[in-house]
Copies of this chain bind each other. A is one copy, B any other.
Amino acid sequence: MTVLEKINNPQDVKNLSVAEMNELAQDIRDAILNRVNTIGGHLGPDLGIAEATIALHYVFDSPKDKFVFDVSHQVYPHKMLTGRKHGFVDNARLHEISGYSNPTESEHDHFVIGHTSTSVSLATGLAKARDLKGENYNVIALIGDGSLSGGEAYEGFNNAAELNGNMIIIVNDNEMSIAPNYGGLYKNLAQLRETNGQAQNNVFKAIGFDYYYVEEGNNVEALIEVFKKVKDTKKPTVVHINTLKGKGYDPAVADKESYHWQVPGFLNPQEAAAPTETYTSITKDFLLNKKQQNEPVIAITAATPGVFDFNPEFRAKMGANFTDVGIAEEHAIAYASGLAKNGAKPVLALMSSFVQRTYDQMSQDLALNNSPATVLIYWGGISGADMTHLCTFDIPLISNIPNIVYLAPTNKEEYLAMLEWSYNQNEHPVFIRVPAAELVSTGKPDTTDYSKLNKYKLEQSGEKVAVIAAGNFFGLGEQVRAEIKNQLGFDATLINPRFLTGVDTEMLESLKQNHNVVITLENGEINGGFGEKVTRFYGNSDMKVLNFGSKKEFTDRVPLEELYNRYHLTKELIVKDIKEVL
C-alpha cells in the first residue's frame, strides 16, 4: 500500500513521519505523471510543489485555514491530499476532477482559478472579511511559477501589505515562468536565492512584508520548520521557497519549458509526424522573413510562447526582435503601442482567453492612440475547455472598441494578405483572429486592399437566404449552403465578412433585393458579438435575421459536439431554424 493510498483528507497527512511524507511526495509525483500521461495537463509546476503542499497541510488546518492556489498550475498535489486522489490514480475517474482549483469539488478550494496573478488579491479579500467578522485563522496564498509578473499580483501585494493581520504569501520560486522568467522582479528573486535570502535589496521587505527564505523548497522538514514559524502570524508575511520545477522526472527538469504542460502519451512519444504547414508555422515564417530583411519587426508574447510555437530556436533567430514580457498582457499592449508609435513593427500574439487580461490598454493605450500595432488572437472559438480557459469572449471584448480593426481570415492566403497589410499600414490598431483550425489554402494569392474597411466578400451568389460566415466558421457556412441546396433546392448566398468590427452597409442593403433571411455564423459569444451588428442594421426592414454563435455562459469541459448541438451550430440544425422563418 502506498502512502497516498492511506491519505483521504489533510488530517491523515498530520500523522505521517518525515520518511512517510517523502514517500508520499514520490507517490504524488507518480500520480501526476499518470494523470498527465493519460489526459494531459500541467506537469512541471505540479511535480515541483509536492513537498511544499504536504508541508502546508501538515502545518496548517485546511479548510479552516484557507489556501488560495494561484493560476492552479500547482494545485494537483493539494487535490490529492483533499479527497480527490481518484482524479490522479484511477484512470476511469480522471475526468471527474478538473485541472484547476474548484470549490464545487471540495471545501478545501475557495475559488475557481485558472487565470494568473489573482491569488493575493483574492486572499486579501478572504483575510479582510475574516478580520471584519472577528474570526481567527490563517489565509495563505501560493503564488509563483511566473504568476508574479502580472499587475494584479502586484496590486494584491501592495494592498496585502496594508492588512494589519495574518496573511501569508508563499512565493514558489521555481526559477521559471511557463517559459524562462523575465523582468526586474525575477532579478531580485535570483539575488535572494544567491544570498540565501539575505540580499540587501529585498522587494518584499521593501513593500512591508515580513520575509522568510527556504533554500531547500523540496525538503519537507525545512518547509515545515518555517511554516510553523509563520503560522498564526499577525503580520503580512512572505515565505520565499526555492523549488525545482519538474522534480522527479528528469526530462521535465532538463527542459522546464516543454514540460510545463504535456499531452497524453508523452511518456512514450510516438515518432513526430512530418511537419505540416499550419497557421502557426506561416506566422513564424512571416516574422522571420521580416527580421531577415532587417525590418524593425518585433514579435511579442506574454509568457505563452509555446502557444504560438515561438520555440527557443525561433527566439534565437529573432534575437532582439523578440520580447517575452512575462505574464503581463496589459504591458504587452501598451508596449506594442509605444513600439508602433516610434516606428517599429510590433506583432503581439495572445490567446483569446488571455486577451481578457487587458481591456483598458486596448482601448486607451492602443485604440485611442490609433497605434498601428498588429495583435494576433489565437484559439478563438468554442471548445470543450475548462471554464477558466474559454475562448469565446474575444469578439464582444475587442470588436466594440472604437478604432480597432478586427479581421477574421478564413484561409491561408487571406490570413497572409491581412498580416502583410496590417504590418505595412500606419493608420489602425489591427487584430487578426488566427483561425483555430487546420490550414486551408485556396492556392490563389489574396490581393484585397484591406485599407477599405468593412468590405465583405461575396463568395457565392444566390437567393432567398444569405449566409454570413465569419472566420473559422466559414466552412460551416459552406456546409449550410450545400444543405440548403440539398433540402430546399435553391442556391443561397454565401458571404465571408472578413471584418468583425463593422458591417458592409452597401452589401447588406443589396441583399434586400432578393433575400428574405440573413444568418450570421461566428465562433464565439453572440451577445455583443459580430452578428448582432448585422441584425441591428436590418432592424428597420423586413429582413429576418438569425444569429448563431455561443450563448452567454461559462461552460466547463463540455464536449464540443454537445455545445454545437446546444447552440444549433450544425448544418442540419441551422437549416431547420432557417426553414422556420422562410
Give residues in A with beta carbon < 8 Å to B.
Answer: 66, 103, 110-115, 118, 121-133, 149-162, 182-185, 187-188, 191, 200-203, 205-209, 296, 298, 320-321, 323, 325-326, 328, 330-331, 334-344, 346, 356-361, 363-365, 367-369, 387-388, 393, 396-397, 399-403, 525-529, 531-533, 535-536, 538-542, 544-547, 552-554, 580-581
19 contacts between A and B (CB under 8 A): A66-B342, A125-B346, A128-B335, A128-B338, A128-B339, A130-B342, A131-B320, A132-B320, A149-B155, A151-B154, A187-B208, A188-B206, A203-B206, A393-B401, A399-B527, A400-B527, A403-B554, A532-B535, A540-B580
Contact call B182/A159, Cβ cutoff below 8 A = yes
Q: Which of B126, B325, B341, B368 contacts A159 (CB 8 A)?
A: B325
Complex Cα–Cα for A198 and B81 (A): 47
Return A329 CB to nearest CB of chain B, in Å.
Answer: 8
Residues of B within 8 A of A191 (CB): 206
Q: Which of B121, B360, B393, B536 contacts A363 (CB 8 A)?
A: B393
Contact call A158/B183, Cβ cutoff below 8 A = yes
Complex Cα–Cα for A357 and B360 (A): 5
Q: How many copies of the chain does the oligomer comprise?
A: 2
Residues of B within 8 A of A541 (CB): 544
Q: Which of B154, B202, B364, B402 contacts A115 (CB 8 A)?
A: B364
Complex Cα–Cα for A298 and B124 (A): 13
Residues of B within 8 A of A554 (CB): 367-368, 402-403
Contact call A122/B400, Cβ cutoff below 8 A = no
Complex Cα–Cα for A532 and B361 (A): 25
Contact call A535/B528, Cβ cutoff below 8 A = no
Complex Cα–Cα for A115 and B334 (A): 12
Q: Which of A162, A185, A203, A338 has the most CB of B within 10 A?
A: A338
Complex Cα–Cα for A387 and B208 (A): 38
Complex Cα–Cα for A160 and B326 (A): 12
Contact call A342/B129, Cβ cutoff below 8 A = yes
Contact call B535/A540, Cβ cutoff below 8 A = no
Q: For residue A542, which residue of chain B has the nearest CB?
A: B542
Residues of B within 8 A of A161 (CB): 183-184, 187
Complex Cα–Cα for A393 and B369 (A): 17
Contact call B546/A338, Cβ cutoff below 8 A = no
Contact call B344/A133, Cβ cutoff below 8 A = yes
Known: A364-B388, A369-B111. A185 touches B162 (CB 8 A): no
